[in-house]
Amino acid sequence: MLSASRHKTATHQEGRTSSGRSVLVAKLVAAAVALGLVLAFPALAPDPFILSVGVVIASYAALAVAWNFVGGMTGYISLGHAAYSGLGGYGTALLVTEAGVNPWVSMIVAAVLVGVAAVPIGIASLRVRGASFVIVSIALVLILLLVAQSWSDVTGGSNGLRVPRPFGTDVLRPEQHERFFYLFVALTLVALVLWWVIDRSRLGTGLKAIREDEDKAQALGVPTFAYKLVVFVVSAFMTAMAGGMYALWFGSLDPIFQFSILTGSYLVLMSLLGGVRSLLGPVVGAVIVGYAVEFFKTQYGDTQLHLVALGLLLALVVLFMPDGVIPWVTAQFDRFRPGDTSIREVDAAQLAEERKALEEAKS
Amino acid sequence: MSSDPIKHSLATQNLTKAFGGVRAVDNATVSFHEGKINALIGPNGSGKTTFFNCVTGMIRPDSGTVTYQGRDVTGHAPHRIARAGLGRSFQLCRIFPRMTVLDNVLAGVRSTGLVHRLRGAHNPDDIARARELLARVGIEHLERSEARDISYGQQKLLELAGVLMAEPDTIMLDEPAGGVNPALIGRIATLVRELNAEGRTFVIVEHNMELVMSLSDHVVVFDRGRPIASGAPADVQNDPRVLEAYLGV
């Protein structure tokens, strides 16, 4: 009985490996095609407006992947990630305008500072779980909004803060959009590589265990608090990088948009929509939500109807694809593949034959 | 006491934990025999699980101490106690439902240092050990399934494999036979005996008296948050205080 089940497992796994390889090839081809399309986008875009929408979507993709370090891996849902993108933006702008630092160096230095600031913030906020963590994350962004609005000597308050263009005035708007599109795509790729490295590591397994059952993970010896803090800081750093890059691209910062709960909510929606457990989930979500936001805005103008439309979109996702688009699509493909735990019935003669073949293959 | 041949790797001194007005664990001084199968029994609500949680760091006790292998571990974080060598299971079996069976076991790998932690979780060494443990508990054919898809009994075995991955010296099992069929109870008992023969100490909370009496070397009886009797299974079984606690006679 035992050897029969072992034998079944062995043949089953061999079958899986070959189908696993073809799936991998299919995935690589799909990824190459997708990357090719992304890189060709500036050339394909019919006008500078569409190109600028592409930049916005690419910036959302970088932000959503950065958000997913915490949200996807640990299951801690932060609605206040605009705090880190906003701080990254203001940090970059102030370093450029007040200290005369090179814009790209400013962006990195500001992100490092935000990463350092994220340590005490993480120590304070990661003590609470679930809804309490969500509230704490919102509180932070609201505090920063008030500070940025009131401290107008430094931030320019509601008048905004102007950031000089990093490429000089002789680079025209469309070309500036194109360059920033590639920069945001590169930043997204860096974030994806980092996410992938962590996801497949022992650290990543510990983080996923935290997402599933934090007490149980701790009882197994996973230093849960330290693990959460590490990805929290990485997430804040990457978010600040995207925020700084946005400041350099957009050229003007206003607290109401930089420290907005709406931005944080968009990131949550994007990641949930694409699938928080998958590498590319937030990117797919950013493309769909980013496009939808811009589309609804042009359709409904300055009214708040685009928010209603987004709310409906979120409701649909939660109802019909609770795990997100990518897992949903994968599940549709998996329907046509043999199941992982199929219990195949074999009679004694068949079994003896298969076992003989296996022994022969061994010798 | 110095002539006492019995070694106590895990012990508590005056351990107390109250929830509001209820003293779930009340001044409990208990020691468990190293290298033996210890059982912790008592009526429902006698504080066994709270005692477990205080010992493993899931709950901070109000007062008293917990010592493990001579070290005071009172109030330490659960992961530190786990890494000191004290593994545990949970009363209502707890696994990572949306992770595969294999990843559930891999989550128990002991990691040190950043480089070690950034190593791929699916490396040959860890996988070989995880598969060995899955084979040992008899569910190696399920390694690719999501843990939520396997049966409750299989989840119990999976939980045990995960605990073993963390290489504990002492294993605390909270109701290992709760809600599983008789054949599986037999399998779990055999596993416990084998693992004990390899030198692991067990502390088992269990209501199945047949299992407790046949499996354990040393029994501690809890009532109202404190130990009322301890000794060999046969002695404890006939202790009038134990009969009173259980039957109210």
Q: What are the extents of the domains in chain A?
A: 46-260
> Are residues B128 and B174 both part of a single domain?
no
Using a CB-CB distance cutoff of 8 angstroms, which residues of chain A are in contact with residue B97?
A: 212
pLDDT tens-place string over residues B39-61: 999 988 899 999 999 999 999 99
> Are residues B160 and B102 both part of a single domain?
yes
- Tell me which of B167, B193, B215 is where a domain ends: B167
CA distance, residue A209 to nearest chain B CA (Å): 6
Of B87, B120, B145, the CB nearest to A340: B145
Using a CB-CB distance cutoff of 8 angstroms, which residues of chain B are in contact with residue A205?
A: 99, 103, 106-107, 109, 121
Using a CB-CB distance cutoff of 8 angstroms, which residues of chain B are in contact with residue A200?
A: 120-122
- Tell me which of B167, B200, B217 is where a domain ends: B167
Rounded to whole angstroms, the Cα distance separating B179 from B187 reads: 14
CA distance, residue B34 to nearest chain A CA (Å): 21
> Are residues B237 and B189 both part of a single domain?
yes
Cβ proximity of A202 and A103 under 8 Å: no
Burial A99-115 (b: 16+ CB within 10 A, else e): eebebeebbbbbbebbb
Contact across the interface for B103 and A208, Cβ inside 8 Å = yes
- How many structural domains are present in chain B? 2
Quick one: closest CA in A to B98, which residue?
A212
> Are residues B135 and B215 both part of a single domain?
no
| CATH number of the domain where residue B8 is located | 3.40.50.300
> Are residues B176 and B71 both part of a single domain?
yes
Contact across the interface for A200 and B120, Cβ inside 8 Å = yes
A-B contacts (CB, under 8 Å): 105
* Residue A360's pLDDT band (cuts 50, 70, 90): low
Residue with the bigger pLDDT between A18 and B244: it is B244
Report, as an integer, the average pLDDT of A266-289: 92
> Are residues B174 and B238 both part of a single domain?
yes
CA distance, residue B234 to nearest chain A CA (Å): 33
Using a CB-CB distance cutoff of 8 angstroms, which residues of chain A are in contact with residue B110?
A: 221
> Are residues B177 and B162 both part of a single domain?
no
pLDDT at A15: 47
Please say whether the dihedral angle defined by the alpha carbons of residues B136, B137, B140 and B146, taken in this order, is positive or negative: negative
CA distance, residue B118 to nearest chain A CA (Å): 5
A1 touches chain B (CB under 8 A): no
- Tell me which of B167, B187, B213 is where a domain ends: B167
Structural domain contains residue B112: yes
pLDDT tens-place string over residues A89-102: 999 999 999 999 99
pLDDT tens-place string over residues A150-181: 999 999 888 889 999 899 888 888 899 999 99
What percent of chain A is predicted at pLDDT more than 90? 63
Cβ proximity of A66 and A198 under 8 Å: no
Using a CB-CB distance cutoff of 8 angstroms, which residues of chain A are in contact with residue B96?
A: 208-209, 212-213, 216-217
Predicted confidence pLDDT, tens digits, chain B (249 residues): 444 567 778 999 999 999 988 999 999 999 999 999 999 999 888 999 999 999 999 999 999 999 999 899 999 999 999 999 999 999 888 999 999 999 999 999 988 888 889 999 999 999 999 999 999 999 999 999 999 999 999 999 999 999 999 999 999 999 998 888 888 999 999 999 999 999 999 999 998 888 999 999 999 999 999 999 999 998 888 888 888 887 665
**Residues sharing a CB contact under 8 Å with residue B51, sequence separation 6 or more, in sequence order:** B12, B15, B25, B28, B30, B40, B222, B225
Residue with the bigger pLDDT between A301 and A80: it is A80
pLDDT of residue A351 exceeding 60, the answer is: no
**Residues sharing a CB contact under 8 Å with residue B204, sequence separation 6 or more, in sequence order:** B37, B38, B39, B40, B172, B173, B176, B192, B212, B215, B216
> Are residues B99 and B209 both part of a single domain?
no
> Are residues B208 and B249 both part of a single domain?
yes
Q: How many CA atoms lie within 13 A of A209 on its CB side?
A: 33
Of A197, A208, A215, the CB nearest to B118: A197
Span between the terminal Cα atoms of chain B, in Å: 35
Quick one: closest CA in B to A197, which residue?
B118
Report, as an integer, the average pLDDT of A278-291: 92
B228 three-state secondary structure:
strand
Rounded to whole angstroms, the Cα distance separating A89 from A255 reads: 10
pLDDT at A325: 87
Domain interval for residue B111? 95-167
Residue with the bigger pLDDT between B101 and A6: it is B101
Question: What DSSP element (H or E) covers B40?
Answer: strand B37-41
Rounded to whole angstroms, the Cα distance separating A107 from A116 reads: 14
Mean pLDDT, all residues of chain A: 87
> Are residues B35 and B79 both part of a single domain?
yes
Structural domain contains residue B81: yes
pLDDT tens-place string over residues A174-228: 899 999 999 999 999 999 999 999 999 999 999 999 999 999 999 999 999 999 9
pLDDT at A243: 97
pLDDT at A23: 83
pLDDT at B5: 61
pLDDT at A326: 86
- Which residue in A119, A127, A202, A115 sits closest to B113, CA to CA? A202
pLDDT at A16: 52
Tokens coding A347: 């009679």
> Are residues B194 and B78 both part of a single domain?
yes
CA distance, residue A157 to nearest chain B CA (Å): 42
CA distance, residue B179 to nearest chain A CA (Å): 20
pLDDT at A14: 46
Using a CB-CB distance cutoff of 8 angstroms, which residues of chain A are in contact with residue B88?
A: 219
**Residues sharing a CB contact under 8 Å with residue B174, sequence separation 6 or more, in sequence order:** B48, B49, B52, B88, B89, B90, B91, B205
* Residue A357's pLDDT band (cuts 50, 70, 90): low
> Are residues B144 and B181 both part of a single domain?
no
* Residue A338's pLDDT band (cuts 50, 70, 90): low
Report, as an integer, the average pLDDT of A75-85: 95
Contact across the interface for B97 and A212, Cβ inside 8 Å = yes
DSSP result, B63-107: EEEEEETTEE-TT--HHHHHHTTEEE--SS----TTSBHHHHHHT
Structural domain contains residue B10: yes
Cβ proximity of B203 and B170 under 8 Å: yes
pLDDT at A1: 38
pLDDT at B91: 86
Flag whether the pTM goes above 0.90: no
Tokens coding B121: 């979780």
Which of B96, B115, B174 should be substituted to probe chain A, the one whose Cβ sees the most A Cβ atoms within 10 Å? B96
Residue type for A256, please? I
pLDDT at A346: 43
Structural domain contains residue B231: yes
pLDDT at A339: 55
pLDDT at A307: 83
Cβ proximity of B164 and B87 under 8 Å: yes
B83 touches chain A (CB under 8 A): yes
pLDDT at B244: 82
**Residues sharing a CB contact under 8 Å with residue A69, sequence separation 6 or more, in sequence order:** A194, A195, A198, A231, A232, A234, A235, A238
Rounded to whole angstroms, the Cα distance separating A217 from A194 reads: 23
